[in-house]
Amino acid sequence: MSSSGAKKLWGGRFSGATDPLMEAFNESIHFDRRMFAADIRGSQAYAKALLKQGILTADEQQTLDAGLQAVQKEWEANTFELKSGDEDIHTANERRLGELVGAVAGKLHTGRSRNDQVATDMRLWLRTEVERLHSYLRSLVGALVERASTDIDVLMPGYTHLQRAQPIRWSHLLLSYAFWFQQDAQRFEQFLPRVSQLPLGAGALAGNPFQVDRTWLAQELEFDSVAPNSLYATSDRDFVAEFLFHASLVMVHVSRLAEDLIIYSSAEFGFVKLADAYSTGSSLMPQKKNPDSLELLRGKCGRVFGSMSGFMMTYKGLPSTYNKDMQEDKEPMFDAVDTLSGSLQITAAVISTLKVNAERMKGSLTSDMLATDLAEYLVRKGVPFRETHHISGAAVKMAEDKSCQISDLSVQDLQSLHPMFEDDVLLIWDFERSVDNRSSIGGTSRVTVQAQIDQLTQWLN
């Protein structure tokens, strides 16, 4: 057994040395160091709260504040020197503060535990990151809306079961994703008040014996509310679980968009072409242009979902309040933030630089996709839809038997299926007309697609 010789925050109870392997296993500084600014901000506020309670003098509080500012500048300048025994960001900051200001640094932790400290740091850090991710979601919605506005006259096949179904506007498809990402942004907005709940002042579990003003602390740190129960305050990680769920759902939407674009960019479809900046080639086949950006986006969905499911398995079996298992809450959160951040920015860039082959999309429209319009023609003549559905199906079968397109059937052919077909039935073989007939709210007509663009533009503004 050996020990670093550094004085540990919890070392007074122990006389034996710690196994170096255990020291490495126990430490979290290599990943939680990224919360240095949140940790320092929380400590500065807590020092002011101790001043209010007479635990610190004004001079002591000012000394601590100046020392903490100096520590933060070292982190920002990448000159902070980690030392043996800096097991986490709290220990490292307090150790360095002591080196800078002396014994008064030992007063900072009065009534405070790393249990309420780390929960505060995480909430402060995540709150800022969620606000940043929210801005990336808005940018992605903006890219989709701009693209939809530019390409509003482009028609394409709409698919169900990956089979051609009905003609739609390309913009209509883009906007379906825009509304998903808008909901993702709204979920983050609704989530923020639950993140913004102050644990600081809860102590290790039982509360603070020096009656620090937690309401004042919440205001100082810009929290919306104070965690109402100290046991709950130190052990709650629902905000991590909820964030990981929201992040997973965002990535599901990213993955589905990526999957559509991967399919549409293939030679078999040729509807879209990715910019070179977001594609790569093959090490063997020189003709290849691979949609690697989209494939990575699709793959990273599994990564974020894995973070969520892994954390939930850790979280589910914990007794109340803080347990060391909860050290496993940070890496999934950090990784999900990083993955989401890169994914949203890449997705927006792919959309903005995509080239659309409008002629190829239009050329993929076939008249059998208007079979429903044929049924609707008879509905407008008063024939029940269930009957017209069968009649239209019979027309499809007739065209197959004649080895022709359904639009090539004559009026007489159609009249052999139902007497209410007239010469004006030939007008339905028009894709623009079909699309613009879908003019109820949310439909694919030009008017309703423009209304969707306007709705999202108003939200963005």
List, for residues 12-31, the tens digit of each pLDDT value: 554 556 688 888 888 999 99
Report yes or no: 144 and 178 within 8 Å, Cβ to Cβ: yes
Backbone angles phi, psi at 354, to 5 degrees: -65, 140
Proportion of the chain above pLDDT 70, given as a percent: 94
**398: helix, strand or coil:** helix
In this predicted structure, the answer to whether residue 415 has a pLDDT above a threshold of 50 is yes
Provide mean pLDDT across the span 102-127: 98
pLDDT band at 1 (very low <50, low <70, confident <90, very high): very low
pLDDT for the residue numbered 17: 65
pLDDT for the residue numbered 162: 94
pLDDT for the residue numbered 46: 98
Query: What's the pTM value of the predicted model, to 2 decimals?
Result: 0.92
Report yes or no: 212 and 50 within 8 Å, Cβ to Cβ: yes
Provide mean pLDDT across the span 416-421: 96
Specify the DSSP class assigned to residue 7: P
pLDDT for the residue numbered 8: 59
Count of Cβ atoms closer than 10 Å to residue 150 Cβ: 12
Q: Which residue has the tokens 């533009």?
A: 457
Which residue spans within 262-398 are E strands per DSSP? 272-273, 355-356
**What are the tokens at 412?**
């007489």
Rounded Cα distance between 147 and 166, Å, is 22
What angle (nearest 5°) sits at the alpha carbon of residue 444, between those of residues 442 and 448? Answer: 55
pLDDT for the residue numbered 4: 44
pLDDT band at 3 (very low <50, low <70, confident <90, very high): very low
Specify the DSSP class assigned to residue 53: T
pLDDT for the residue numbered 404: 96
Rounded Cα distance between 308 and 302, Å, is 10
What angle (nearest 5°) sits at the alpha carbon of residue 254, between those of residues 438 and 246? Answer: 105
**What are the tokens at 20?**
């170096």
List, for residues 220-252, the tens digit of each pLDDT value: 999 999 999 999 999 999 999 999 999 999 999
**In whole angstroms, how far apart are CA 32 and each of 29, 248, 329?**
5, 22, 10
In this predicted structure, the answer to whether residue 284 has a pLDDT above a threshold of 80 is no
In 3D, which of 117, 110, 84, 72 has the Cα closest to residue 8? Answer: 84
pLDDT for the residue numbered 280: 77
Q: What is the mean pLDDT of the chain?
A: 94
Report yes or no: 286 and 362 within 8 Å, Cβ to Cβ: no
Report yes or no: 330 and 239 within 8 Å, Cβ to Cβ: no
In this predicted structure, the answer to whether residue 425 has a pLDDT above a threshold of 90 is yes
On the 0-12 / 13-18 / 19+ scale of CB atoms within 10 A, 398 is middle
pLDDT for the residue numbered 22: 85
Provide mean pLDDT across the span 62-79: 98
**What are the tokens at 307?**
């973070």
pLDDT for the residue numbered 281: 67
Report yes or no: 422 and 411 within 8 Å, Cβ to Cβ: yes
In this predicted structure, the answer to whether residue 2 has a pLDDT above a threshold of 50 is no
Amino acid making up residue 5? G
Dihedral sign of CA atoms 286, 291, 293, 298 in order: negative
Residues 6+ apart with CB under 8 A from 349: 143, 277, 278
Rounded Cα distance between 64 and 368, Å, is 76
Amino acid making up residue 413? D
pLDDT band at 283 (very low <50, low <70, confident <90, very high): low
What angle (nearest 5°) sits at the alpha carbon of residue 78, between those of residues 32 and 61? Answer: 75
List, for residues 77-112, the tens digit of each pLDDT value: 999 999 999 999 999 999 999 999 999 999 999 999
pLDDT for the residue numbered 72: 98
Q: How many helices (H) and strands (E) are present in the chain, helices listed first? A: 18, 6
pLDDT for the residue numbered 13: 57
List, for residues 163-216, the tens digit of each pLDDT value: 999 999 999 999 999 999 999 999 999 999 999 999 999 999 999 999 999 999
pLDDT for the residue numbered 333: 98
Whether omega before 321 lies within 30 degrees of 0, making that bond cis, reads yes
Provide mean pLDDT across the span 442-447: 98
In 3D, which of 278, 270, 282, 426 has the Cα closest to residue 360? Answer: 270
In this predicted structure, the answer to whether residue 315 has a pLDDT above a threshold of 70 is yes
In 3D, which of 133, 136, 131, 105 has the Cα closest to residue 40? Answer: 105
- Helix, strand, coil fractions of the chain, as percent rounded to 5: 65, 5, 30
Q: Following CA atoms 245, 248, 252, 257 in sequence, which dihedral angle do they give, to the nearest 10 degrees?
A: 120
Beta-bridged to residue 272, according to DSSP, are: 356
**115: helix, strand or coil:** helix
List, for residues 354-365, the tens digit of each pLDDT value: 999 999 999 999
Q: Which residues are known catalytic residues?
A: 161, 282
Report yes or no: 459 and 178 within 8 Å, Cβ to Cβ: no
pLDDT for the residue numbered 337: 98
